[in-house]
Structure 1
Amino acid sequence: MKCPFCSHPDTQVVETRVAEDGGFVRRRRQCGHCEKRFTTYERPEVSLPVIVKKDGRRIDYDRSKLRGSFSLALRKRPVPIDKVDLALEHVEDKLRTLGAREVQTHLIGELVMAELQKLDKVAYIRYASVYRSFEDIDQFKSIVDEVTTPPPAAKKDGARKKD
């Protein structure tokens, strides 16, 4: 591997670690010329499906576009970047497990919404308002009610019995 600092081709692996989930290998390397250290990540290459846009165009999957969607929805929200990375991994894992060669954009939108709902309710509402093309206040109200209303099981447990 070539050194990213001086471009010397001679680098040496100093330390190797496997990620907790086993999804990738992290390697610390040191350049034999400038002696600077850097980290590389080794992941298995698995192809993701082609994305079919609403107008019928087909484009290759692009992680940076997905990250951009998350970043826009999470703008100025207190969500750590490692949680965003994990959410991206969840979406990609679901796309891989589908085994489909092509996926409609609406499916990706639904996967993103599911991950945003777990990460941050405000970001979820932001994304949903654009993704679902809200046109009136009632649509906003219904999605806000959806995230603020406790699930039915929680209502039962939290309700007091009248004697």
Structure 2
Amino acid sequence: MKCPYCSAADSKVVNSRSSDDGTAIRRRRECLSCARRFTTYERAQLEPLMVIKRGGLRQAFNPDKLLRGLALASEKRPIPQETLRAFAYGFEDEVGAPEVESGEIGKRAMGFLRPLDDVAYIRFASVYREFDSLERFIEEIQGLKEKE
């Protein structure tokens, strides 16, 4: 496993245990070069979930990409990183289909963020729905107020 800090190729496993739901193994690793520790998750992958992009291109689902988007939207908000990680890494199991449209991923992510934090929801929606004006932000915020 390559170290995310120094890119050295060698690391050792310090601790290993099952994840909360038992579908993955969580491993704490220590880089043999820089001695920093990091966590990896190992899970069985039977067939990758394929994402159908807007232009029709298909690519394998990457939970890290979804996690990055959720983390950016919830930056400096009171949402535990583990909550975001559980959603992103559990997404593939939740879908239960071999393919999913990219728009569906965005809708589900917004549905996940909505009850957690309004600010994170608006941040994510602004990118997902491609807000191009202040009016679009205002419309979305008013929609949030009406649903309360």
Instruction: Provide the TM-score with structure 2 as the length reference.
Output: 0.68
Give the match for residue 145 of structure 1: 142
Q: Which digits, 9 at most, give the CA deviation of each residue in 1:1-60, with x for residues without a partner?
A: 9xxx9959xx8x99764433222344679xxxxxx9x87654222333222211222222
SS at match of 1:86: helix
Bigger radius of gyration, 1 or 2?
Answer: 1
Distance verdict in 2 for CA 1:15–1:87, change over 3 Å: closer
Q: Alpha-carbon deviations, 1:97-154, whole Å to 9, x = none?
A: 1x23x32211111111111213321011111122112344443233223333455xxx
Structure 1 residue runs of 5 or longer lacking an equivalent are 30-35, 152-163
- Residues 1:110 and 2:107 aligned together: yes
Q: Does the aligned pair in 2 maintain the 1:91–1:111 contact within 8 Å?
A: no
Report Cα offsets for 1:46-75 as digits up to 9, x if no partner: 333222211222222222221221122122
Sequence identity (%):
36
2:127 is aligned with 1:127:
no
Q: Does 1:77 align with 2:77?
A: yes
Gaps of 5+ in 2: 2-7, 30-34
Provide the rounded CA distance (Å) in 1 between the counterparts of 2:28 and 2:71: 29
The question of whether the paired residues in 1 share the 8 Å contact of 2:51 and 2:59 is answered with: yes
Aligned residues: 143
- Letter matched to residue 114 of structure 1: G
Give 1:86's aligned residue: 86
The alignment's TM-score, normalised by the length of structure 1, stands at 0.63
Per the TM alignment, residue 82 of structure 1 is displaced from its structure 2 partner at its CA by 0.8
